[in-house]
Amino acid sequence: MTVVFTCLDADTLGGVQQVTHTLAQGLAGRGHEVHVIGLRRAARPFRYVERPLYHRHVIGRGPAEGPLARRRADRRLRALLRELGPGYAVMTSPSVVARTARLLPRGLRPIGQYHGSYDHARDCWHLASIRRHYPDLDQALFLSEDDALRFSEHALLPNAGALPNPLADWPERMSGLDSPRVLGVGRLEGVKRFDRLISAFARSGAPPPWELHLIGDGAEAARLRAHAEREGVADRVVFRGLVPAAHMPAEYLNASILGLTSEHEGLPIVLLESAAHGVPAVAFDVSGGVRSAGPVLVPPGDVAAFAAELARLVDDEEERRRLGADARARAEAFRLDHVLDRWESLFAHIER
């Protein structure tokens, strides 16, 4: 069958894009005709799959568009969609649903995803857009059963369901959990709140040679370096910059704890990847998706509680090993083949 994934920009470095390309490659590997469409060109394109089995398209001519350019792009999008034949159109965000659903030909069955949490949608314009545009779709998909239930109840969605993000690969090796390293992974942007992770690390009392390694780049890098200096741990917070995806397994194997201090999250891939490598995580309890990955949870924004859990895991290697084994067992449900099975079951359900 034909499966079309549409993103606002399909080639930006980000979680939605990573999940989209992982699913596209997996479904194409099962014999489906898969297309990934970016509505606009990424300012800094990132390549997720070296040898894609799927087709890629960019509709817009640049990262930003005026009204005239957008109308022209919509005409190009409509023409492309008509060429693809019957199947399923997976729209990956509220803005994509609002723009694309009206352009779909009759044969493409509309599915709308939301990669955030209900709480995040409620606190911004997303919830109003979901309420307006998602009820008429064949399926509205969220990242956890908890979030799907809350959208069903509070956004009055008759078509809400849950499908999690997949792991692209399943590691054969687990971390030994004996390296004195806490890991933080993500864009160095405000929403990720790495300042809180730095503060929690400083206040945990983790002694040398314990270090906090931050993987990623972004506009907050200079401010975070200054924050580490103020917290007295500048010599033990290591800013690693971007690490190629192919090298990330080694990072998990060399870590003993993962920290996730984001303001909001849906179901972050970093939690699943660390769990698959047997690395226990401490996270703010910000969504059903985060809870489904099984980290040690602390109240959102409570840096003191986060620091206390870090200290507990730093001091207790046996507890790290117990939690790491539990995390890996839980991560089994997010293996790519399991998630692809659920996608194919969804397609069959819609078809019936």
Q: Considering only the top CATH level, what class is 181-333? A: alpha beta
What dihedral do alpha carbons 246, 248, 252, 258 form, nearest 10°? -150
Q: What pLDDT score does 47 carry?
A: 87
Q: What pLDDT score does 64 carry?
A: 65
Structure tokens at 72: 């022209």
Q: Alpha-carbon distance 117 to 16, whole Å?
A: 13
Backbone φ and ψ for 104, nearest 5 degrees, come out as -75, 135
Q: Where are the alpha helices (DSSP H) in 56-210?
A: 67-83, 94-100, 118-122, 126-133, 145-154, 194-204
Structure tokens at 62: 């640049």
Q: Considering only the top CATH level, what class is 2-166+335-351? A: alpha beta
Q: Alpha-carbon distance 23 to 25, whole Å?
A: 6
Amino acid at 127: L
Q: What pLDDT score does 46 carry?
A: 86
Residues of the chain predicted below pLDDT 50:
none
Q: Alpha-carbon distance 198 to 200, whole Å?
A: 5
Ranges of CATH 3.40.50.2000 domains, the chain: 2-166+335-351, 181-333
Q: What pLDDT score does 98 carry?
A: 97
Amino acid at 305: A
Q: What pLDDT score does 318 carry?
A: 97
Backbone φ and ψ for 254, nearest 5 degrees, come out as -100, 10
Q: Alpha-carbon distance 108 to 89, whole Å?
A: 6
Identify which of 308, 44, 321, 346 has the alpha carbon closest to the alpha carbon of residue 176.
321
Q: Are strands 2-7 and 33-38 parallel, antiparallel or unpaired?
A: parallel
Q: Alpha-carbon distance 125 to 137, whole Å?
A: 19
